[in-house]
Copies of this chain bind each other. A is one copy, B any other.
Amino acid sequence: MKPVKVGLLGLGTVGTGVVRIVEGHQHDLMSQSGSPIEIVKILVQDKNKARNISVSSDMLTENPWDVIENPEIDVIVEVMGGIELTKQLMLGALERGKHIVTANKDLMALHSPEILAKAAEKGCDVFYEASVAGGIPIIRTLIEGFSSDRITKIMGIVNGTTNYILAKMSKEGAAYADVLKEAQELGYAEADPTSDVEGLDAARKMTILGTLGFHANVALADVEVKGISGVTKEDIAYGKRLGYEVKLLGIAERQDEHISISVQPTMVKTSHPLASVNGVFNAVYVHGEAVGETMFYGPGAGEMPTATSVVADLVAVVRNLNLGVNGRRGFIPYKEKKLKTDEQIASKNFILLHVADKAGVLSQITQVFAEHGVSLESVLQHPNATNPLAEIIIVTHDANKAAMKKVLKQFEAMDVVHAIKSVYRVEG
């Protein structure tokens, strides 16, 4: 049987895992896909670098176009990362009729319309299961498993680094800076952690999930992003007291035809299944009109979990090759994107205020909420031991974002409000 030939771009963590699975599971992959799968060319940065996997040096190249232009290659597996060059390589591969499996969330979040259009034009597959939530097959689940339903909400813990940091802050009562430093030493956080801790990585993944869930082309710029660098141990402690864990959630919501997508640290009720997702695990909660509540949980990163998703996509490409249907089972958004206005975005909110410790203040505060039609679920006031002021924690009922903005603006102008210490969205 003629083998399907694969060009691999990148032999880092995930690329190594891909080689291991393709070589180690050869018989199973053939039984399931219908053809032997053979990696014939691998792009690396340095051909002479020592590696913890043995690959023939003939296969290695430092020039990506050696892979893209190689006429015997049927499928490109892209696990090199990067955006601009990688996009040119992907378009070049499609131009030559090669199918693509990619783990590149940045590329897909920014350029999927262009890449998928080129794939459709050329009759090629582009699959990207590994781009979101590592080993969890959430992209297939949204495209195939819930094809019959109308998704109303997707909430994801889709960044392992921030989940590790927040879970550790919660468990140990530790400060953000200390835990970040430790995570960097352990290799769970990058030397420059900005993309993770400021929510950009999660925002890219939510762009992809939002597009799939709502069948409309969500752009990265549509995602409102806030990271975890402002989360204090005090916030976490106050959250716990009221029954919440702080998690960095990506939230994509739809009501009628209007959608909103955001990433922010969120107070999640401890009884919600997302609240107990700890360590570097990822989880995606999906609510559909018909199916109701579901959740998908697993390793969000790592060599073998991510490679599992990459190679499952490779199997899908090979199955399609053997059926002659490549490029005809792709995901194509068919709805116009309509974003919610601030008036249409509603959530519960957790607000921590420092206020003057004198009579009548609480009444003034609650009056502001009332003026803007925001009703309150709970109010907790207690004197702060170290300051001549009081702390007030307020949890609102569902309130629209426009009203909340007005409330906070009014607080800023009030003398009795010394500081708006924290504002969190509340879920669960």
State the A residues within 8 Å of B (CB).
17, 21, 25, 28-29, 31-33, 129, 135-137, 140-141, 144-150, 215, 273, 276, 288-299, 302, 304-305, 307-312, 314-316, 319, 323, 325, 328-329, 334
Our pick among B31, B215, B312 for the contact of A145 (Cβ within 8 Å) is B312
| Inter-chain contact A298/B291, CB cutoff 8 Å | yes
Least Cβ–Cβ distance between A253 and chain B, in angstroms: 18
Which residues of B lie under 8 Å from residue A319 when comparing CB positions? 329
In the bound assembly, the distance between CA atoms of A118 and B286 in angstroms comes to 36
Least Cβ–Cβ distance between A149 and chain B, in angstroms: 5
In the bound assembly, the distance between CA atoms of A288 and B137 in angstroms comes to 13
Which residues of B lie under 8 Å from residue A295 when comparing CB positions? 295-298
Which residues of B lie under 8 Å from residue A33 when comparing CB positions? 147
- Do A312 and B148 form a contact, CB below 8 Å, given A294-B299, A305-B290? yes
In the bound assembly, the distance between CA atoms of A29 and B334 in angstroms comes to 12
Which residues of B lie under 8 Å from residue A273 when comparing CB positions? 276, 297
Least Cβ–Cβ distance between A309 and chain B, in angstroms: 8
Our pick among B291, B304, B323 for the contact of A290 (Cβ within 8 Å) is B304
Which residues of B lie under 8 Å from residue A292 when comparing CB positions? 135, 298-299, 302, 304-305
Least Cβ–Cβ distance between A272 and chain B, in angstroms: 11
Q: Closest residue to A297 on the B side, CB-wise?
A: B295
Q: Closest residue to A135 on the B side, CB-wise?
A: B291
Which residues of B lie under 8 Å from residue A145 when comparing CB positions? 129, 137, 140-141, 309, 312
| Inter-chain contact B31/A312, CB cutoff 8 Å | no
Which residues of B lie under 8 Å from residue A25 when comparing CB positions? 148-150
In the complex, besides A147-B316, A149-B312, 14 extra interface pairs with C-beta distance below 8 angstroms are A25-B149, A29-B147, A29-B148, A32-B147, A135-B291, A135-B292, A146-B308, A148-B309, A148-B310, A149-B308, A288-B308, A290-B307, A323-B323, A323-B328
